[in-house]
Amino acid sequence: MLSRISVRGASSAAASATASAPTKQTHTTPSGLIVSSDERNGAVSHLVLAFRAGTRYELPSQKGLVHHIRNFVGRDTNNYLGVPLLWSTAGTGATIRAFATRDLYGVTLSVPRAEVNVALSVLGHVAAQPSFKPWELVENQETLIADLASRSAFDFLNDDVHRAAFRNGGLSNGLFAPKKLVGTYSQAELQGFAASRLVSGEAALFGINVAHDVLANYGENHAPLNSGKGQPTKASPFVGGESRRWSSGKLAHVLLVGEGATISDVKGLAAQNVLLATLAHNTLKYGGKSGNGILAKAVANEGAGISAYQAAYADSGIAGVYLTVDGAAAGSAVRSIAKALKNFTAGDIEGAKALATSRVAFGVENGADFVIDKAAYLLGAKGECIMIAISQTTKADIEAAAKKLSKKFALASYGDIDHVPYVDEL
């Protein structure tokens, strides 16, 4: 069913992998597809095919459309039935995952490197050639409803803080479809969006532990990508604002953010990473313990959990902290954090630089997630190494990032929020 492109070439590449040095290569094909590889000579290949087709590209009348497309991965494509595609994936020992951010939509595959060619064939079809058959659109509603029902407090906050920070800009569009719009998009509407965004000029193909010539051969000669270039999206600048969502429970969940670095501003991102390491030393995404950062000390008496938070996009970004605290203590905790951010001065930054570097390095080692970050950089950045930039970060850089972050806030709160101050009170 699916072509094993250059199978002998892949086998020889795998056989000689241990003898070759790690290499990184990137080039752009004549069709505009960016092809990049990070050959580490590992046994498992991690692949991603991503497009500039995230939720920011939805029109005002298309809220949640990308969520529908993301959940269609694994169903029929224009050329193959969904079940045989998934059988081919399972037969290679691969795992497949669809994802969507505000900038990107795409699919990742992790597979034993000896099967990378079959995996590439599957990847191209499931990511770039969805058919959106009418009866499958009906079936797709069940997965959308399940996604909405399983949202965590952080999922609500993440969408809400973007809505507050970017107001009516494209970056305010949520990652989840509004419940009232589930199943409302037609085959023609979904096909129209796919035809305009899932094209070679908006795409990046990246692989870890795969020979670059294998990716290049597939991208240039076999990838089922429609040629073309999508329309650029409007800029979505940070504005600042607030969103409040009451829910049952004793905890208040708060995201307090300010303007952050863009994904192409490597120097700014480096300073931001060091700043966040200074503010929140803990490494847990949903901080159970606050660690020993500056903000942890600021709320030591409230028993709050604090995690650093950042989201960088092609033309904008936000950064700040995620706070979980007893609702009765939320007022003093949020005010203490805002005050600490506004009065920030950098002390000894070497430890924070080391922590920021280790966090980046840990992310690079987690290949299944790193491929998504790499695709975002390929489609929105200049390629400068952030680890080098972190090592060159100065106190002045960090204080400038803190000043930018604290100049104007966006706040989202969820749970027992009666005592959470309003953003204009900070």
pLDDT higher at 88 or 68: 68
The reply to whether 228 falls in a domain is no
CA–CA gap between residue 337 and residue 422 (Å, rounded): 14
27 and 126 together in one domain: yes
Query: Model confidence at 425, in pLDDT bands (50, 70, 90)?
Result: very high
266 and 197 together in one domain: no
- Average pLDDT across the chain, whole number: 88
The reply to whether 235 falls in a domain is no
Type of residue found at 290 = S
Domain-ending residue, one of 187, 222, 257: 222
Closest by CA to 410, choosing from 103, 162, 102, is 162
Find all residues with CB under 8 Å of 332, minimum gap 6, and list them: 299, 301, 302
Domain-ending residue, one of 159, 187, 222: 222
Residue 7, pLDDT score: 33
Residue 2, pLDDT score: 42
Find all residues with CB under 8 Å of 379, minimum gap 6, and list them: 34, 50, 52, 103, 104, 202, 204, 314
Type of residue found at 116 = V
C-alpha distance from residue 355 to each of 310, 351, 360, 361, 370 (Å): 16, 6, 9, 10, 18
CA–CA gap between residue 223 and residue 122 (Å, rounded): 10
Instruction: Please name every residue paired with 107 in a beta bridge, in sequence order, or none if there are none.
Output: 49, 98
Query: Model confidence at 300, in pLDDT bands (50, 70, 90)?
Result: low
409 — phi, psi (to 5°)? -105, 155
**What are 239-291's pLDDT values in tens digits?**
999 999 999 889 999 999 999 999 989 999 999 999 999 987 654 444 444 44
Tokens 């307090």, residue? Answer: 256
Residue 384, pLDDT score: 59
**What are 150-177's pLDDT values in tens digits?**
999 999 999 999 999 999 999 999 999 9
CA–CA gap between residue 70 and residue 98 (Å, rounded): 6
27 — phi, psi (to 5°)? -150, 165
Domain-ending residue, one of 189, 222, 255: 222
Domain count of the fold of the chain? 2
pLDDT over 70 for what percent of the chain? 90
**What are 113-140's pLDDT values in tens digits?**
999 999 999 999 999 999 999 999 998 9
Q: Is 121 helix (H, G, I), strand (E, B) or coil?
A: helix
Cα 140–chain centre separation? 23
Closest by CA to 140, choosing from 71, 209, 225, 216, is 71
Residue 9, pLDDT score: 36
257 and 208 together in one domain: no
Query: Model confidence at 360, in pLDDT bands (50, 70, 90)?
Result: confident
CATH code at position 252: 3.30.830.10
Pairing state between β 34-39 and 203-208: parallel
Q: Which range (212-226, 358-372, 404-418) has the least confidence?
A: 358-372
**Domain assignment of residue 190, given as a range:** 7-222
Residue 206, pLDDT score: 96
Query: Model confidence at 381, in pLDDT bands (50, 70, 90)?
Result: low
| Mean pLDDT calculated for residue range 67-85 | 90
Name the pTM for this structure. Answer: 0.89
